[in-house]
Amino acid sequence: MARKISMKMAINEAIDQEMTRDPTVIMMGEDIVGGAGGQGEQDAWGGVLGVTKGLYAKHPDQLLDTPLSESAYIGTAIGAAASGMRPIAELMFIDFMGVCFDQIFNQAAKFRYMFGGKAETPVVIRAMVGAGFRAAAQHSQMLTPIFTHIPGLKVVCPSTPYDTKGLLIQSIRDNDPVIFCEHKNLYGFEGDVPEKSYTVPLGEANVTREGKDVTLVAYGLMAHRALEAAGLLAKDGIEAEVIDLRTLSPLDLDTVLESVEKTGRLVCVDEANPRCNIATDVSARVAMEAFGALKAQIEMVAPPHVPVPFSPALEDLYIPSGAQIADAARRTFARGKT
Amino acid sequence: MADNPFPLSKDELLDAYRRMRTIREFEERLHIDFARGDIPGFVHLYAGEEAAAVGIMKHLWDGDHIASTHRGHGHCIAKGVDVVAMMKEIYGKKGGACEGKGGSMHIADLSKGMMGANGILGAGAPLVCGAALAAKYRAKQKGGPSDVAISFVGDGASNQGTFLESLNLAAVWNLPAIFVVENNGYAESTSRDYGTAVDSYVDRAAGFGLPGVTVDGTDFFAVHEAAGEIIRRAREGGGPSLLECKMVRFHGHFEGDAQTYRAKGELEDIRANRDCLRAFVAAVTGANVVSDAELQAIDRDVLGLIERAVTEAKAAPLPDPADLTTDVYVRY
Ligand SMILES: Cc1ncc(C[n+]2csc(CCOP(=O)(O)OP(=O)(O)O)c2C)c(N)n1
Ligand SMILES: [Mg+2]
């Protein structure tokens, strides 16, 4: 019988199972246990939104609360990874990369290449991404493109509890540094998740809806909005194919190309700001590799080139909607060369 | 009324009380309205810590700069930011201190030298070095005492590299910068002692070549005196200092925090025994410098102001859709 759990619980379960399987899997972060050094409840928080709640009771030696020093503890996780451990470091909000980026992009990302292929850095850096939480400009960004730009880093951003568990387990087992991006507005989203351990490979996109008329490419929260758009388009008799990238680096371009060969139309959706984002990257690659298959201009749906606003009235406008994606798909019919 | 034994005039005492009371009522009102679901986002309350913000800010003028933290409402109010504009901001409304674009964690008013609450721990310290450097240039040009710049940082955030690097930079450049560590014993749910190896921030300051002072941050007069000395020295070119205020927070880390990490009875205890406002009232009325009636008149004023702020915030228009794309650049 299928069991439904939230994305939050899928993360918890993946870490739990990997910690049980492999004692070198450790995790560190701010308040991932909570209550440390105090006189009240131990394991008081389980992370700022309770994602790791309960893990400390099961794996007391494998979870470490840290001082509020991201440079030091993200770097510590990376150094431990280079020295035989398999650490997971929680960066809480991806926006905090600003204070520890050197350890990620000049250290972890570079070791393998720079040391002539002789180093392995099996670290996972988990962080919350995305807008919609009324958390304003410094706690809401979708910074996936910044990490995807860096060779040596793998970047994952799942949209379902099933993928989250499988991809996180795979990321922990992967021998390269992985930036694991969790959309905070999907934490409560529930779906079927097997209890047993399983993996979803990195670098494989998922076709979440088949269609012959137009291809919608998205990831994270936008994978849901793209499905919503496909539903709207179906009412107009347009059959959209929806691709959830799941992994941004490595990028499964083949699945996108195959789809575009069939549909001839492409809409790339991204919650990241529009300059140099995942959508522009996919668009450019498709234009280069499948120009002949395109029946229309490629469309992109992304937020405007602005920081994330606080006011709910503005934030709701900032985040691309299903209707905007459907409109973009329609434009490929209206303006395109049929 | 008796002779005034305090280093502040009666008017100044009443002003300090008004600012502290305003912070308290502002925060207690937010606590209620947040629980009711009226307020979006993350809200970190300053209640319990008022004496630190006001004890320090009483020495400042508009040309002085401060950089605040995620727990910034108290610093804003103490520095003179308009309470109605703050409330509108927290409600995400047009006419808010940041036109609804910033929210609780980013309230700023540069006209008052308030460089912003901040969502990034430790981020204010380098900015304050910058403001202090600018103040130093200004002082050189115009002569006279320098403006100062003050960075507030929590006990937890005092372990950020940005903060520690700033201590050194301020010391080597002899900047009129002041670093206030607001030690409320917790960083989120984690106790201060778990995350910080040294007991004393004075020791830490010494390691960076800065004079440091620790005071009871719930004692307005202790904060006021220590801050006065430090600020005077900075104004006269004597360089940076660190001030640790030991204090208590009356609410959770943020609104919605169940606070199970606290000891049993802890909240009741600190509210009963370490309430900085109550201590202030006891001191000034006990010395017969200020009467209960005078304080009660201020209480009524403050409650009226907060009520008006909430009413105006609720009635204020939402930002226009077009506001989404304005103010990214001066020119683009
Ligand atoms: C660089 C960075 N890391 C982590 C956080 C998340 N965070 C926000 S407040 C906080 C605790 C801060 O504790 P402290 O500095 O003692 O200030 P207090 O909340 O007690 O006033 C944490 C971990 C952040 N905002 N920025
Ligand atoms: Mg603290």
CB contact under 8 A, B162 and A99: yes
pLDDT at B247 (0 to 100): 98
Taking 80 as the threshold, does the pLDDT of residue B116 lie above it? yes
Q: Does the beta carbon of B154 lie inside 6 Å of ligand 1?
A: yes
How far is Cα A325 from Cα A178, in angstroms, rounded to an integer? Answer: 29
The helix or strand, by DSSP H or E, that contains position A19, with its residue range, turns out to be helix A7-21
Give the mean pLDDT of chain A: 97
Class of the CATH domain delimited by A206-334? alpha beta
Q: Which of B93, B118, B160 sits opposite A69 (nearest CB)?
A: B160
Structure tokens at B159: 């372990």
Q: What confidence tens digit (pLDDT) does each residue in A82-109 have?
A: 999 999 999 999 999 999 999 999 999 9
Terminal CA-CA length for chain A: 47
A to B CB pairs, distance under 8 Å:
161
pLDDT at A336: 58
pLDDT at A60 over 80: yes
Cβ neighbours of residue A71 closer than 8 Å, sequence gap 6 or more:
A99, A100, A102, A103, B161
- Confidence category of residue B170, pLDDT binned at 50, 70, 90: very high
Q: Name which of B106, B122, B263 is nearest A137 (Cβ-Cβ).
A: B106
B2 confidence band (pLDDT: 50, 70, 90): confident
Tens-digit pLDDT profile for residues B178-228? 999 999 999 999 999 999 999 999 999 999 999 999 999 999 999 999 999
Encode pLDDT of A283-321 as tens digits: 999 999 999 999 999 999 999 999 999 999 999 999 999
Q: Where in chain A is the domain with CATH 3.40.50.920?
A: 206-334
State whether the Cα torsion A173-A174-A180-A182 is positive or negative: negative
Is B119 close to A138, i.e. CB distance below 8 A? yes
Q: Of the candidates B40, B187, B261, which has its C-beta nearest A44's C-beta? A: B261
Nearest to A215 by CA among A271, A272, A264, A279: A264
In a domain, B325, yes or no: no
| Contact between B188 and A48 using a beta-carbon 8 Å cutoff | yes
Confidence of residue A1 (pLDDT cuts 50, 70, 90): low
B331 lies in a domain? Answer: no
Mean pLDDT of the B235-239 span: 98
Does residue A338 surpass a pLDDT of 90? Answer: no
Integer Cα distance of B210 and B243 in angstroms = 10
B321–A307: do the CB atoms touch at under 8 Å? no
Strands A190-192 and B212-216: unpaired
The pLDDT assigned to B251 comes to 98
Work out whether strand A240-244 and strand A247-249 pair parallel, antiparallel, or are unpaired.
unpaired
Residue B329 maps to a domain: no
Measure A34 CA to ligand 2 centroid, in angstroms.
14
User: Which residues lie closer than 8 Å to B305 by C-beta, 6 or more apart?
Assistant: B22, B83, B84
Q: Is residue B250 a contact partner of residue B45, using CB atoms and an 8 Å limit?
A: yes
With a CB cutoff of 8 Å and minimum separation 6, the contacts of B273 are none
pLDDT of residue A337: 53
Confidence of residue A2 (pLDDT cuts 50, 70, 90): confident
* Chain B nearest C-alpha distance from A35 (Å): 5
Of A230, A302, A299, the C-alpha closest to A266 is A299
Q: Which of A70, A314, A318 to mutate to test the interface with B (most CBs of B within 10 A)?
A: A314
Residue B249 Cα to ligand 2 midpoint, Å, equals 8
Quick one: A274 exposed, middle or buried, by C-beta within 10 A (0-12, 13-18, 19+)? middle
pLDDT reported for residue A294: 98
| CATH code for position B44 | 3.40.50.970
CA distances B253 to A96, B80, B154, B173, B315, Å, are 18, 24, 12, 35, 29
A166 pLDDT higher than 70: yes
Query: How many residues in chain A?
Result: 338
Would you name the residues of A annotated as active-site residues?
Answer: 139
Q: Count of domains in chain B?
A: 1
In terms of CA atoms, which chain B residue is nearest residue A308?
Answer: B101
Tell me the pLDDT band of A193, cut-offs 50, 70 and 90: very high
pLDDT tens string A106-123: 999 999 999 999 999 999
Q: Which amino acid is at B271?
A: R
What DSSP designation does B151 have? E
Tokens 């204010």: give the residue. B124
CA B13, chain centre distance (Å):
18
Which chain B residues are closer than 8 Å to A65 by Cβ?
Answer: 190, 194-195
- ipTM score of complex: 0.96
Helices of type H across chain B: 10-35, 50-57, 73-78, 83-90, 124-142, 161-172, 192-195, 201-207, 220-235, 266-273, 276-286, 292-315
Residues of chain A within CATH 3.40.50.970 domain(s) are: 2-194
Residue pLDDT, tens place only, B21-32: 999 999 999 999
Return the biggest CA–CA distance within chain B.
63
DSSP state of A130: -
Span from the CA of A278 to the centroid of ligand 2 (angstroms): 38
Looking from the CA of residue B183, the nearest atom of ligand 1 is: 16
Question: Does B156 sit in the ligand 1 pocket, CB within 6 Å?
Answer: yes
CB A193 within 8 A of CB A10: yes
Q: Per the CB < 8 Å rule, is B159 touching A67?
A: yes
What distance in Å separates the CA atoms of residue B180 and residue B20, rounded to the nearest whole number?
Answer: 18
Give yes or no for residue B312 having a pLDDT over 70: yes
What is the average pLDDT score of chain B?
97
Task: Say how far residue A316 (Cα) sits from the centre of its chain.
Answer: 20
Mean of the pLDDT values across residues A189-201?
98
Report the alpha-carbon distance of residue A127 to residue A147 in Å, rounded.
Answer: 12
pLDDT tens-place string over residues A10-53: 999 999 999 999 999 999 999 999 999 999 998 999 999 999 99
Q: Look up the CATH superfamily of A2-194.
A: Thiamin diphosphate (ThDP)-binding fold, Pyr/PP domains (3.40.50.970)
Q: Where are the beta strands (DSSP E) in chain A?
A: 4-6, 25-29, 63-65, 86-93, 124-129, 154-156, 178-183, 190-192, 206-209, 214-218, 240-244, 247-249, 266-269, 299-301
Which of B248, B324, B328 is most worth mutating to test chain A (most A CB atoms within 10 A of its CB)? B324
Beta carbons within 8 Å of A210's beta carbon, 6+ residues apart: A239, A241
Contact list in B for residue A37 (CB cut-off 8 A) is 190-195
Q: What percent of chain B has pLDDT over 90?
A: 99
Kindly give the distance from the C-alpha atom of residue B64 to the centroid of ligand 1, in angstroms, as a whole number.
25
Q: Which amino acid is at A40?
A: G
User: Has this prediction a pTM greater than 0.90?
Assistant: yes
Question: Residues with Cβ within 5 Å of ion ligand 2?
Answer: B 154-155, 184, 186-187
Residue nearest atom 20 in ligand 1 by C-alpha distance: B187
Residue type, B180: V
Amino acid at A216: L
Please answer yes or no on whether A34 and B261 come within 8 Å at the CB atom.
Answer: yes
Q: How far apart are CA B61 and CA B55, in angstroms?
A: 13
Q: Do A134 and B121 touch (CB under 8 A)?
A: no
Residues of B in contact with A44 (CB under 8 A): 189, 260-261
Boundaries of domain holding B54: 10-316
Q: What is the pLDDT of residue A335?
A: 72
Interface of A with B (CB under 8 A): 30-31, 34-41, 44-45, 48, 65-72, 95-96, 98-99, 133-139, 304-307, 309-314, 317-318
Question: B248-281, pLDDT tens digit by residue?
Answer: 999 999 999 999 999 999 999 999 999 999 999 9
From B4's Cα to the closest Cα of chain A, the distance in A is 42
- CB-CB neighbours of A305 under 10 Å: 12
